[in-house]
Amino acid sequence: MMRRPNRGIAGATFDVALIALVGLALASVAQAGGLYVGEFATNSMGTAGAGAGASALDAGTVLHNPAAMTRLEGHQVWAGFTPGVGFIEFDKTDSPVNSNGGNGGNQGAFVPLLGAGYAHKLNERVSLGVSVFSVSGASLNPSNNWTGQNELSKINFITFAANPGVAVKVTDWLSIGANALVIYGNIDWKFRGPIAGGSVHIEDADDTAGGGIASIFLEPMEGLRFGLLYQSEVKLKLRGNLEVAAAEVSPGLDLDLPLPQALRLSTYWDATEDIALLLELEWEDWSTADNVSLGIGGGGTIVPLGFRDTWGIGFGLHYQLNPKWQLRTGYSYDSSALRTQDRISALPIDEQHRLAFGAVHQYSESVQLGFAFEWLHLGQGKLKTANVRGSYGPNEIFFIGGAINWMTPSWKETFGRGES
């Protein structure tokens, strides 16, 4: 049985701090839909991620649906950079619980998203590939006098992930893929108030954990493609120290951070010679993070968060303007993992809406350039807690992305030795 932490350190509001800590970690490590961030710096950003697992048009396929690598010609390399700027402002209601502190100003921050991948066509049946990506940045950074400072002062979470794997073309219309998934996470987080009336700092709590990906790619007829991807749960166990300034203690910190399993279905259809329609459906098992384990100084507790499963849907369109340029647009929606009664200022998660526009330019026979703009709306994030009441507005992030995809039929040809 887990033991509760020493309440002499924490006082009566220590549980609030624990929930804030776990919630912030979960909110910051997200990667695609629901709580996961879906901005991977691939050309699929131009459709808000819709159809990414079925389009199979460049090396970003390694990330979105590894089984579809068998459709790629030659050997391909992709790299992208997608900076984002957040405008996240809290509007508190007139209430006694909000008597101290202000709205906190703009809590958003610069978020740099990077990604790269490589697909290697081993032969007509087998392809190998790997992609690496990161989610980095201060997700929430309110001003010092804001009304929710007892739950949040500043958070920075960095993750790096890689998914090496293989794809096999079983028949002319069916391919399967299997990948390892390795994720590194590091959290640096501060808040003030709840613990002994002083500041609290969780510094460089980190871990590396693994999981797996299994995927299917179907092309029953020319111009119609389907992708199905299953991602297993990854359990990070963050280890670090909890520095409590007023109490002059620095106990060890152990936080179980589950990244849930997910299922994604993608569709791509060439409706006409110039127009392609794309569809995305997804489910994520966030209820697995409803109760998580946290230990401090040898003691431990189970922290209830109120998480529930999420679902998402997206629609996209490709328009071939001419042989050199393809225009893209798309919209996607993800449901909220939290109800209003479970939401706190450290975890203002709500439904998500994405609207995107993009373009892909065939610069040369081997080089393709992609550009994308995306508006991500994070919902109202209504709060009604013992300490904070109000909602967020604006609550949005703007992304501008760029990517390059380079293809060569053969490394031997590239380096001038020709095929043997």
How confident is the model at residue 338, as a pLDDT?
A: 84
CA distances from 60 to 52, 76, 186 (A): 9, 9, 25
User: What pTM value is reported for the model?
Assistant: 0.85
d(CA 11, CA 40): 42
- At 356, list the tokens: 């995107």
d(CA 234, CA 36): 13
Q: C-alpha angle with apex 169: 163 to 174, nearest 5 degrees?
A: 100
How confident is the model at residue 136, as a pLDDT?
A: 47
- Residue 151 · residue 345 · CB < 8 Å: yes
> Quick one: the chain helix, strand, coil %, rounded to 5?
10, 55, 30
d(CA 243, CA 298): 15
- At 337, list the tokens: 């993992």
Helix (H, G, I), strand (E, B) or coil at 58: coil
How long a stretch of residues is the chain?
420
Name the β-bridge partners of 230: 214, 263
Name the β-bridge partners of 250: none
Helix (H, G, I), strand (E, B) or coil at 151: coil
How confident is the model at residue 29, as a pLDDT?
A: 44
- Residue 103 · residue 92 · CB < 8 Å: yes
How confident is the model at residue 413, as a pLDDT?
A: 59
d(CA 396, CA 160): 24
Give which of 66, 61, 36 is closest to 51, Cα–Cα. Answer: 61
pLDDT tens-place values along the chain, 420 residues long: 233 333 333 443 455 555 555 655 555 444 333 456 678 889 999 999 999 999 999 999 999 999 999 999 999 999 999 888 888 888 877 665 655 666 767 777 777 788 999 999 999 999 999 999 875 445 666 666 677 666 666 667 777 899 999 999 999 999 999 999 998 988 877 766 554 456 777 777 899 999 999 999 999 999 999 999 999 999 888 888 877 776 666 778 888 888 889 999 999 999 999 999 999 999 999 888 888 787 877 777 777 778 889 999 999 999 999 999 999 999 999 998 888 887 776 667 789 999 999 999 999 999 999 999 999 998 888 887 777 788 887 888 899 999 999 998 865 555 554 443
How confident is the model at residue 246, as a pLDDT?
A: 66
- At 420, list the tokens: 């043997």
Hey, what domains does the chain have and what are their CATH numbers?
7-414 (2.40.160.60)
How confident is the model at residue 349, as a pLDDT?
A: 76
